[in-house]
Structures are given as structure tokens and as C-alpha cells.
Amino acid sequence: MSVRVLPTVKTLASIGRSRPTSHCGVSSMKQTLAFLCAIGSLLAAACGDGSTSPAAPSQPASVVSSGTSGFGIGQPATPSLFGSGEADLASCLRGGSDPACFSGSRLSTRAVGAATTAPEAPLNFSATASGSTVLLTWTAPVSGDPVTTYVIEAGSRSGASDLTIIATNSTAPAFSASGVGAGTYYVRVRAQNAGGVSSPSNESILIVGTGGCTTPPNAPGGLVTSASGTAVTLTWMPSVGGCAPTAYLLQAGSAPGQGDLANSSTGTTATSYVAQDVGAGTYYVRIRAVNAYGTSGPSNESILIVGTGGCTSPPNPPGGLVTSASGTTVTLTWTAPVGGCAPTAYLLQAGSAPGLSDLANSNTGTMATSYVAQGVGASTYYVRIRTVNAYGTSGPSNESILVVGVPPRPEVWTATAGFGTFELTLNPAGTAITQIAYHFQTWRCGGTTRSGGITVSSGSGWPITNQQFSIENSLSGFSMSIRGSFASSVSASGSWSAISYGTGCSGTWTASK
């Protein structure tokens, strides 16, 4: 089985070093990229420059005893790699007490007075498995004094050597073993001679049996960013389920979704990060999980405001809200606000009448400009979107009328009333009446006698809320009110009233499809 190794990620530390093309060296962009440089300096301090050999790891306090779960390498498949006096690795990893189990940890990193120098690190290390048989191969160092043996390290997590540290006692650039238990192992090799021990090779993730993972990790979540002066703290929740991450990728941008200020591995599986001396500004931050098989999707995006250079006011409102329904599934889309301070999330509001939010008033928790809900009950909803940040909430977007599960009505309804007839014209969605046409049949009310027709239109329409509506019209010489409800998709009824020169007239009306 082939094991892929993550390519080298360009770290913030390398970007942050001063040179003519460096972002961190351009004074005009110093504050904008200070976040990147600050994190870069921390990574440089944490990772080092690789000029010295790492300290040899110590034997763990205890080793879990299991016949299958450990890196259970038994006797090597090629006897020449180990003499008969060497430790049985399978026994060591099941909790054996033989001091040889961690003999590699006692190798000197520099022999006093030695005429030779420590070798360079081995190259192109690869770990593969076929069933329970494991093959490790590498390329000998290309410079330095000759190698006298190699030291194999295996851990239960990236960078760890808690499963074994043992010398091969051979200069052969290969090692094989059978009977290895199912699991995921993090393996490296070092070169050794009388001058000392080299730095480690690249790390290869070895997957043995069905228990191993071969996919990228799931995305982390719950990212929270905060600033105290110029000190910035990031915390997040680890990936849930799926394959385990070996590190996290920190991304920061000057706008939502961008990573133009930082795009660097933290180098650890810790779920927090601190940076000092971050310049004033507004940063859009995300975290991704990484392992040998790829990179996860992003966490939620958190907007980090540092210093007085950041925004301190609510964002502008979003726009372009469009709603649609397919059965009981509802889709909302809108456009992000233009200008002003950046939002950190959106607020979804829905009401039973225009301007109300009595049905929904919920934060989406993301910067996504779309929203899908399923199992929405049949009704008419008046929907708006607002933007939110640490300093407040914007005004509303345009309001969109969403009709879910309501049977379509005829576009025109004809009703019979005491004064004659009238026609109601509905909008295509059936959510408002856009026109009413009266047809009077020699009707008298007070001092008014009316015959013929009068048509009144409304651009915004008279809304139909919970299947009910009310229309008030001021006509020539009198006023007319029509109230009613749609009992079903085929019938409607209500009342009408008129006032003419102080005299009131009223009655009922009915309509059917």
C-alpha cells in the first residue's frame, strides 16, 4: 500500500524573514501583514532551523499490553538486519521489559573526540503495508561521513516516538517486518555513526489493516478569536469523527474567505494558538485540519478586530434576498453587504406579516450567503436578513414573501356583493391583492347613487396574511372597505362596508373558483 506524505507547506516563518520580496519587510504594508509576521516568528521559534539534532526521546512510563493494537513488529523478515541479540520489537511494544526495547534512545548524539561527523538525515523515507507485512525504505544520506547503522522511530501520533526507538545495526536502507497489528503509525528513520545521530527523515504515516484511515480529516469547528491589545488568541474544537489530523492549518485574510495574510501549518494538534504584537486591523480567520491524505474543509470563519484600526460599528445591511420553496424545503440566498465594517454572521428573521419577526429570529452562525431549511410548515412568511458583528446588527435587507405548501389560487377572483360584483387580482405567488375592480349595479348609499365600474390598483399590493386580507379604498364621493378570507383554494368570503356623506351601508360577499 502506498503512503503519501504531505508536501512541505510554506510557513509563515519563512515568509516573515526580512528580504527584498518579503511581505514583512515592506514598511508600507507593515501593519496590514503584522498578523502574518507575528505568527511567523512564533512558528520559527517553535520549529527551529534544523541545525541541531533533536534530543533523544525517553521510554514512556507505560506501554499498553495488546496482541494486536501496538506497532507489533516481530522479528525482522530479513535476518541480516538484526543480530540474534537484538530486541524482539513485537515483545517490546506489548510491554516487554528488555532494556533493548529503547536502546536507540541511548545512542549518543556526538561522540567526544570522534574523528567523524554525524551523518545527514536519510531521504525519501517511505512506509508501506501489505496485509500485516510492513516495508520501510529510504535513501542513504547524500553527504557526511559514512553511516554505521540506522535508528527507526515509531509513534502513535505525529512526531512521537512512544512505540519504539531501535537501531537496525545495519547500513541497509530498508527494513521489513510481519505480524504488525492494524492501526495508524507515524514512522521516521535517523542515520547514526561514531560522530552522532542525524536529524529525522521525513515522517511517513503507515496504515496497517482495516483500522487505518486513508482520507483527509473532518473540518474543525467552534473557532473563536479574541484580542487583548496586540495579543491574539485563537481556540477551536478538534475534528469530530473521520480520520485523525496531524496538524492544523491557520488561514487569515484581508477579506472573507481569503488566506492572503496567513496560510501556514501550526505543526501540532493543539487546538489553541497565541500570537503577540499583532498590528491593528480586521482579519478573517479560519482553521483547517491536515493529515497525510489531505486537508479538511474550513472551520467557521471568525472576524478578528485588533486595535483601533479595526471597525467599531455594525455592518451595512445585506441585499438581494431571494426566497423559494420546493415542497417543504426552503432556500434563501442574498448578497453580502457592500462597504462598512465586516459582518461575523447573518441574522434570519421571518414573520407572519410584513416587518414582523414573530416566526424566526435566529443567527445563522456563518458567513455563508445562503440558507436551506427542510420540513418548513405550510404558511406565508415575510423574510428578511440582517448582518451582525461584535458592535451590533445592521438594518434589514429587502423583504421577500415566501409561500410554503399553500395551494395556488386563481389569479382573478370574482365576488358577488350587495352593490354588484367586484374582481380581486392576485400576484403570481398568491400573497397579495394587486388590484380590485368594482362593478356597481345602480347602487344607492346615502346621498350617493353609483353605477358602472371603478378599478383601483396597488403597486405593493394589499397583503394576504394567514389567508386573510383587508382593503380600504376612497372612491368618488364615498369610501369602500372589503374584508375577507380564503377558506380554501376554491372559495372565499367576507364583508363590505361603505360610508357616503355620513351614511353607512354594509353587506357580505362570496366568491368561488
Residues 175 and 247 in one domain: no
Residues 419 and 505 in one domain: yes
pLDDT tens for each residue of 94-108 = 444 556 556 655 544
Confidence of residue 82 (pLDDT cuts 50, 70, 90): very low
Residues 147 and 240 in one domain: no
What is the DSSP secondary structure assignment for residue 37, as one 8-state letter? Answer: H
Rounded distance between C-alpha atoms, residue 291 and residue 203, angstroms: 11
pLDDT tens for each residue of 137-187 = 999 998 888 999 999 999 887 888 888 898 888 999 998 888 887 777 889
Residues 148 and 166 in one domain: yes
Confidence of residue 204 (pLDDT cuts 50, 70, 90): confident
Residue 11 has pLDDT above 80, yes or no: no
CATH code, domain carrying 333: 2.60.40.10
In a domain, 207, yes or no: no
Residues 189 and 293 in one domain: no
Residue span of the structural domain in which 393 resides = 319-404
Residues 284 and 226 in one domain: yes
In the three-class reduction of DSSP (H, G, I as helix; E, B as strand; rest coil), residue 67 is classed as coil
Choose one of 283, 306, 329: the last residue of a domain: 306
Rounded distance between C-alpha atoms, residue 383 and residue 276, angstroms: 43
pLDDT tens for each residue of 215-224 = 889 999 999 9
pLDDT tens for each residue of 37-58 = 333 333 333 333 333 333 333 3
In a domain, 70, yes or no: no
In a domain, 204, yes or no: no
Residue 283 has pLDDT above 80, yes or no: yes
In a domain, 54, yes or no: no
CATH code, domain carrying 480: 2.40.128
Residues 400 and 416 in one domain: no
Residues 171 and 84 in one domain: yes
Query: pTM for the full model?
Result: 0.33
Residue 71 has pLDDT above 60, yes or no: no
Residue at grid coordinates 521516521: 188
Choose one of 359, 387, 404: the last residue of a domain: 404
Choose one of 306, 339, 368: the last residue of a domain: 306
Residues 87 and 139 in one domain: yes
Sequence-distant (≥ 6) Cβ neighbours of residue 187 within 8 angstroms: 125, 127, 136, 152, 153, 154, 155, 203, 204, 205, 206
pLDDT tens for each residue of 445-477 = 887 888 889 999 988 889 988 889 999 998 877
pLDDT tens for each residue of 245-282 = 888 999 998 888 888 888 888 888 899 999 888 887 88
Q: Which of 119, 118, 173, 109 is nearest to 142 (CA)?
A: 119
pLDDT tens for each residue of 357-389 = 999 999 888 889 999 999 998 888 999 999 988
Residues 465 and 421 in one domain: yes
Count of structural domains, the chain: 4
Which range has the top average pLDDT, 1-15, 148-162, 308-322, 407-421?
148-162
Element holding 393 (H helix, E strand): strand 392-393
In a domain, 203, yes or no: no
